[in-house]
Chain A
């Protein structure tokens, strides 16, 4: 094998570290996906576009002269209301319906978002400079941007905070109750409509955090939302709904896969590899389940 990555062992370390740090970020988006899928039973194709929108909020702050890292606080607040408005406008009409309807409706939302972002922020690839510098490891053979480490820590912090919030707070309990049985929760006095709106808002806020982190670690472009949706979908179907450690681990696994695919197949096939992985995972699960004469539900 004449792949560069197998000749230079340090590149392996580089790819692994990059992959894991990136994976934590993916896991954060996937957690939002799992939350709304579990609670409201909808698949949100616009997830990735919410992420990108969150990123553009941080980027706008950067243009205004504020350090983009503050985006991890501002962006989720704005995105919460975006998510809430989106719920009130569209999502509340698809909650109880067929999943295909929610897929198609959110696909429509995704197209609108992409185009509006294209109008507002332009079709250029942009990045917000955090100027955090880089950390050199192993005799300068592995370079690690500090922004990536920062983003991983912020993601972890938010994930932990959210888990505690879901466990302890009143709203968190209401959300979990609605996820278990919406009808029973309604009978016991939970305002499910409010819970749904809050869930979608929290999901959008998580996307906002992830987007703000992506704006300083990776790049932003109006049309790159869909890969993030697919990544989070993949992580959720591998990890299952509501299993947070598994979400984190499969997120890191996906990050590793992507970094290695990048080195081995070439950067031009990176997104293609992500989508093919989705197909392979689904087909693998399907064959595994069909042995027991079951299918993915």
Chain B
């Protein structure tokens, strides 16, 4: 079993490292995939494991995006002038400045959202169930609306992130840089989530999901763990946002950064599609979703949101357990579950 795992992981890492060379035309798509997997995996941590279904993780994603770009610009040039009138033409980052900027920016983009999650966590995570869902939905949209009114980060007309340094002549360099950055983040996120899955922390999160009152009665300080769980999500959402900001090259408050209509829904949908509360579910869900999206989007141009809406409804109603949940029901032995046939047959369905 251990050796099988080793082969699997090394195979995946080699595939990940070789992917931009094998599918050199799809580097942007692969970067997207990495980011989507990170988002789904970390959403699952508190949506699936903790039972706190958040629509508002987009808040941290957008925050990370704005922070990375702001730090990257603000470290070397006045931010207000950059965003005011096409600053990217007046000020040019040198190669060193660009990479220093994005490095520090990503660091900030990871830490600040985590701190924000910690700061608002006590207030927000006291809400339960659907109130939490609606409250976080409100937070995400409010953040977008408010960011759209702040002058220094470009307000309604958007924020152009620093372009990739022109001194690097290799046309492939930009794609490779963003792909490998996102891949590193993905590997880090996976290692971290995998570690959590083997720890007591996950059991506590599951206890909170199954019955928070009882968990509290058993002496678990649920609030502390809920906040930590949310902070982990926020940390990786911020990183993912920072990378996407650099990749897209342009930040709009409601359509790119705090994009509750796309990314905000995608991360929930991907986790549910793959199966909430499993390690591999969100990864498989994100991959499937990405292939579906990229494959189908271009053929149904204009109708993609209709398709997305229908997809949400269908998945939620007919497939709420996701792929892993379905597999689990079908092959319980593979998941280490033992079924007492006699007991199952003796159960009478109550309606």
Contact = CB atoms under 8 A, between A and B. Distances in A.
Nearest to A94: B317
A95 to B, nearest CB: 11
A46 to B, nearest CB: 10
Contacts of B293: none
Contacts of B316: 94, 101, 104-105, 108
> Which has the most chain B C-beta neighbours within 10 Å: A93, A283, A297?
A283
A101 B135 contact: no
B142 A99 contact: no
B120 to A, nearest CB: 9
Contact of B268 (A104, A114, A226, A237): A104
A282 B265 contact: no
A73 B125 CA distance: 44
Interface in B115-144: 123-124, 126-131, 133-135, 137-139, 141-142
B262 to A, nearest CB: 10
Interface residues of A, number: 43
Interface string A103-127: 1110111111111100100000000
Contacts of A233: 134
A251 B179 CA distance: 50
B72 interface: no
A280 to B, nearest CB: 9
B146 A272 contact: yes
A153 interface: no
B53 interface: yes
> Which has the most chain A C-beta neighbours within 10 Å: B265, B268, B313, B320?
B313
Contacts of A100: 53, 129-130, 133
Contact of A276 (B142, B306, B312): B142
B332 interface: no
Given A94-B317, A107-B312, A108-B310, A272 B145 contact: yes
A23 B305 CA distance: 32
Nearest to B53: A100
B131 A296 contact: yes
Contact of B149 (A116, A272, A295): A272
Given A104-B268, A112-B310, A279-B139, A271 B145 contact: yes
A93 B127 CA distance: 26
Given A99-B129, A108-B311, A295-B128, A286 B142 contact: no
> Which has the most chain B C-beta neighbours within 10 Å: A43, A97, A108, A233?
A108
Q: Is the interface of A mostly helix, strand, loop or mixed?
A: helix
Given A268-B149, A272-B142, A93 B156 contact: no
A38 to B, nearest CB: 14
B309 A109 contact: yes
Contacts of A290: 126
Contact of B141 (A108, A275, A286): A275
Contacts of A108: 308-313, 316
A109 B309 CA distance: 6
B261 interface: yes
Contacts of A115: 303, 305-306, 309
Contact of B148 (A107, A268, A276, A286): A268
A269 B131 contact: no
A156 interface: no
B336 interface: no
Contacts of A110: 309
Interface string A253-297: 000000000000010110110011011001100110010000111
Contacts of A105: 312-313, 316-317
Interface of A: 43, 90, 93-94, 97, 99-101, 103-105, 107-116, 119, 226, 230, 233, 237, 266, 268-269, 271-272, 275-276, 278-279, 282-283, 286-287, 290, 295-297
Interface of B: 53, 123-124, 126-131, 133-135, 137-139, 141-142, 145-146, 148-149, 155-156, 261, 265, 268, 272, 302-303, 305-306, 308-313, 316-317, 320
28 contacts: A90-B317, A103-B133, A104-B268, A104-B316, A108-B308, A108-B309, A112-B313, A115-B303, A115-B306, A226-B141, A230-B134, A230-B138, A233-B134, A268-B148, A272-B145, A272-B148, A275-B139, A276-B142, A279-B135, A282-B127, A282-B131, A283-B124, A283-B135, A286-B123, A286-B131, A295-B127, A295-B128, A296-B128
